Amino acid sequence: MNRAMSQVPQEPFFTELYQHWCKSPEAIIIRDLAIGKESTAGEFLYDVLIQRDRISQLINAKVQKQLDDPHSDNVFMAIFGTAGYEFAVLVFAIYSLGAVVVPLAPRLHPDEADYFLKTADISLVTATQGASEQAKTLSAGITTYIYTPEEQMPATHELELEPAGTTHSQDKGFVLLFTSGTTGPPKGALHSRRGAYIGARTYLDGLGLSPRDTFLHPMAAHWKGGFDFFIACICSGACIEFCASVYSSQWFWQRLQQGGVTCAITPTPVLHQLREALDAVRNTVSPSTFQQMLQGLRELRVMGTGSMKVPESVMAYWKELRGGQPLTNLYGATELVGMVSMTDWKSDKTLSANNCGMIMPHLTVKVSDEGELLVKGPQVMRRYISSDPRAMNGVFDPDGFFKTGDLGEVGPDGELFFFGRVSHDVIRYAGWKIHAPEIEDALQYHPEIARAVVVGVADPQIDQRVAALITRKDSARNSIESLAILRQWLAAYQNLPYFKLPTMLRIISGDDKVPVTDSGKPVKPKIRDTFFNPDEIASGRVEMWDLATKDKGMGDRPWDWEGMGAD
């Protein structure tokens, strides 16, 4: 019997996949809960090649010439769709053509879609079946391809690697990831094929990802975390379980109860939700069921967190709940594939909240005179693509280091310490520089505070006030009756120096919406403008501290004014 043969491109990601298939042809590498689909590496590769051939038939001669020329400009192709099997196939179909993947959320406003498509100069739009109608509506006349299912790879079909020397230039683009727009208009970070592969490989080394792992993936595919971990799993041969369609805090615990999950990423805001969900079911399920949930939690080899600083109290809670296994702290940026640094998942050592672990291979990190972290290496983006011609101004220093905009330092052993954002986490109060995350950490220890965000609010007398926005827990007993009481608590129980104590306070409930990015980071300029604007202050909803008033009972403590006096 003649056996049909498909040739797999000699590209780094495909070579990894092909090798995983050869070693374990029956192993599942993708599980998509939304469509009930499981796929082996061989089935996935077969589908990628089918979709690639169908897409290539829609490409005009001019675009094809660009794809074939290693020295020509990049060709950009968009994908509308949520993270899942079909999205994954389209990503690697576009990759195999030599084009740049531009993942976009399916539910964009038409004006937003128009901005992204024009800014990236999209040549072709693709979409998963679930996003087909949105893609057709939003593509604005650009040729559009909708994923079309293919029958399972026939038993008589085989795969082989293409002859060597047929790869695309590794300096060309792999993916364009638009930033969440924390500062300025959205801009896309362009990552090279080489940088994406090296960045994905660092996850294998740093997190120990392997075919033995099952990785829960509830994240959005069009932002850094969701895209990064997807390609890392593909590269490692781990089974990625796409679960966004069913994910909730309650579902998370039910899934852990079933067992078999070894890796999960839980950004800082999610940790609070998971804790509340666990507390809610503690008295509603049987003791054996609750213990199964805890056992599933402790079977997680890696429980990673990041996207914003994790308070030490939160780290301590999860370490105890996980039987002494700490969270893995991840520090990265959209402008870099992989992480800049991460803590050792194998270590049970208790680290400070500022400690983000060892710097990843292939990267060099230095600290500017202003305390800003600067990063250089192949994983760093090539450039921004933006409608703003000034988007690249000041992005890199003269030596080619990317300016992260983050405050930090590198320890003597090569560990990276993160202190906050240069622009929004540094509050200038009467000549002192205050790092807002330090105050947020202290507030997080209060038993009635669910979440705290600290911002600087302009004051003509002292430059900026320290303003605390507090989300009260649903179970709170209202012990935070005034700013004076909160300041006393911070001084007495958290030993916070006097000059760092909040001088503005706004208390909200969990129902009030706080501006955050797609990855859950507080958007501090918007928070300041929403909750501490002149109208809010005049309404009485914001409590102001009289700067001429001295707190009672604090006494004369050392370092209350950082050794420089109060005047």
In a domain, 353, yes or no: no
- Identify whether 470 is part of a domain: yes
| Global pTM value | 0.80
CB atoms within 10 A of CB 262: 20
Q: What is the average pLDDT across 264-275?
A: 88
- Got the DSSP string for 415-478? EEEEEEETTTSEEEETTEEEEHHHHHHHHHTSTTEEEEEEEEEEETTTEEEEEEEEEEPTT---
- Is 527 contained in some domain? yes
pLDDT tens sequence across 72-108:
899 999 999 999 999 999 999 999 999 999 999 888 8
Order of strands across the sheet that contains 173-178 = 144-146, 122-127, 76-80, 100-104, 173-178, 188-192, 383-385
What is the domain extent for residue 434? 426-544
Instruction: Tell me whether residue 251 is in a domain.
Output: no
User: What is the pLDDT, as a whole number, of residue 519?
Assistant: 75
Within a domain: 474: yes
At 363, phi and psi to the nearest 5? -110, 145
Q: Which two tokens stand for residue 172?
A: 């060309």
Number of alpha carbons in the 13 Å side-chain half-sphere of residue 41: 26
In a domain, 492, yes or no: yes
Listed residue (28, 55, 32, 41) closest to 147, CA to CA = 55
In a 13 Å sphere around the CA of 105, the CA atoms on its Cβ side amount to 14
Q: Contact at 8 Å (CB) between 453 and 524? A: yes
> Rounded to an integer, what distance in angstroms lies between the CA atom of residue 148 and that of residue 136?
15
Three-state SS sequence of 320-346: HHCCCCCCEEEECCCCECCCCEECCCC
Q: Alpha carbon 341 to chain centroid distance?
A: 14
Say if 405 falls within a structural domain.
no
Structure token pair of residue 306: 């990041």
Instruction: Average the pLDDT over each of 46-50, 117-121, 362-366, 476-480 and give the range with the smallest value.
Output: 476-480
User: pLDDT (tens digit, 9 = 90+) per residue, 136-175?
Assistant: 999 988 999 999 987 777 766 789 999 877 678 999 999 9
Number of domains in the chain: 1
Mean pLDDT, range 447-452, rounded to an integer: 92
CATH code of the domain containing 439: 3.30.300.30
Q: Which range (229-238, 385-394, 455-464, 472-481) has the least confidence?
A: 472-481
Domain assignment of residue 479, yes or no: yes
